[in-house]
Amino acid sequence: MSDLGKIDRELFDTVIYPELGADREDVTLGPTHGIDFGVIDVGGDALVTATDPLSVLPDLGFERAGRFALDVVLADVAVSGVSPSHLSVTFTLPPEMSDDELAAMWHGFAGRAGEVGVSVVTGHTARYAGVDYSWVGGATVLGVGSHDDIVRPDGARPGDKLVVGTGPGAEVTGLFAHLFPEQIGLPPDRIATAQERLADTALVEDAMAATNAGNVTAMHDATEGGITGAFIEMADGASARFDIDSEAVPVAEGVDALCDALDIDPWHVSSCGTLLAAVDPADADDVVGALRDRGTPAAVVGEVTDGGGLYVDGARQSHPGADPSWEAFARLQAAADGTTDQQ
């Protein structure tokens, strides 16, 4: 049993998966461990959909917090290869949130939606007692495209090259540096560099650039469990072996310093905005080039072969289980509240 974060596979398989309501023929991809979106057939078109909880972090500033919240929920549809286009959102807000704060948050949220061509079509917004900013509702994202255009995280084939965009740990680095600049224990210049990583959490444009540049056979975003967990899910889903050269993996400036200061592994922490892809070897350089043209650090980091599991520098990796950023966040929050030292 996992503690915080997503439930583990055993609980999913024994509790969630056996009871999914009606068995409908138009559901072409239902809930599947390791795949964060579903697909419905609507008149021959593929309707891709994904749902995520929403968190608002006031210390980012409400407008920026709104943008970040949306980027997190858009990622799951973006990695399907189909552009997100429509959104249903529920905000269950704390009673202390003022109208001006709500307006700033919504301006950031809706503004980011407009930038990537997403329209908000319905929702619910209210204040309720007993709510804080940690989790303030949820959103369902939709995208419409061809079934042939869908890219699944379990589609990798032996011979494919593995591509990483952005690299590990950017999300946690940017967030923690903004939320806990005094508690991390790094000099101000290093905190400032780490804070820049928050801009690396947008994934929609990178996912679309990758699929437009070449034959991408599998994609995944690296959220809870980091790139290690995401690569393991991809390898297990494809029943293939993934071999990674750690030296080839891009790492953004500031990530190693912050993760070392907090004694967390950047490969194991939530990394929203990091794109993992398996690509036809003939197209791998084009995909990397398309990402770099957008200003995203990217590289071919390994290949897919027959077998199973994730191997980094020849050593087989295990799933990290609970994301260590949850415990690190709790330590930093306690230090910020003055209840204990973060060390």
Residue 178 has pLDDT above 90, yes or no: yes
Average pLDDT, the chain: 95
Residue 134 has pLDDT above 70, yes or no: yes
Residue 2 has pLDDT above 60, yes or no: no
Report the number of distinct structural domains present in the chain. 2
Residues 241, 289 within the same domain: yes
Residues 143, 165 within the same domain: no
Evaluate whether 58 touches 101 at the Cβ level (below 8 Å).
Answer: yes
- Report d(CA 313, CA 334) in Å as an integer: 37
Q: How many residues does the chain have?
A: 343
Is 1 part of a structural domain of the chain?
A: no
State pLDDT tens for residues 201-249.
999 999 999 999 999 999 999 988 999 999 999 999 999 999 999 999 9
What is the reported pLDDT for 339?
A: 74
Is 198 part of a structural domain of the chain?
A: yes
Question: Who contacts 247 (Cβ-Cβ below 8 Å, separation ≥6)?
Answer: none
Q: How many CB atoms are closer than 10 A to CB 24?
A: 11
What is the reported pLDDT for 340?
A: 60
Which residue is it, tokens 């909880």? Answer: 53
Q: Looking at residue 61, which CATH number applies to its domain?
A: 3.30.1330.10
What is the reported pLDDT for 342?
A: 46
Residues 204, 273 within the same domain: yes
pTM of the model: 0.93
The helix/strand count (H/E) of the chain reads as 10, 13
Q: How far from 64 is each of 69, 72, 160, 224, 227, CA to CA, in Å?
A: 9, 13, 37, 21, 25
Which residue is it, tokens 């858009």? Answer: 74
Q: Edge to edge, what strands does the sheet with 161-165 contain?
A: 216-222, 271-279, 161-165, 298-305, 241-244, 309-312, 315-316
Q: Edge to edge, what strands does the sheet with 45-53 contain?
A: 27-29, 38-42, 45-53, 137-145, 86-93, 119-127
What mean pLDDT is predicted for residues 36-41?
A: 96
Residues 32, 81 within the same domain: yes
Residues 100, 180 within the same domain: no
State pLDDT tens for residues 69-100.
999 999 999 999 999 999 999 999 999 999 99
* Structural domain span for residue 267: 161-335
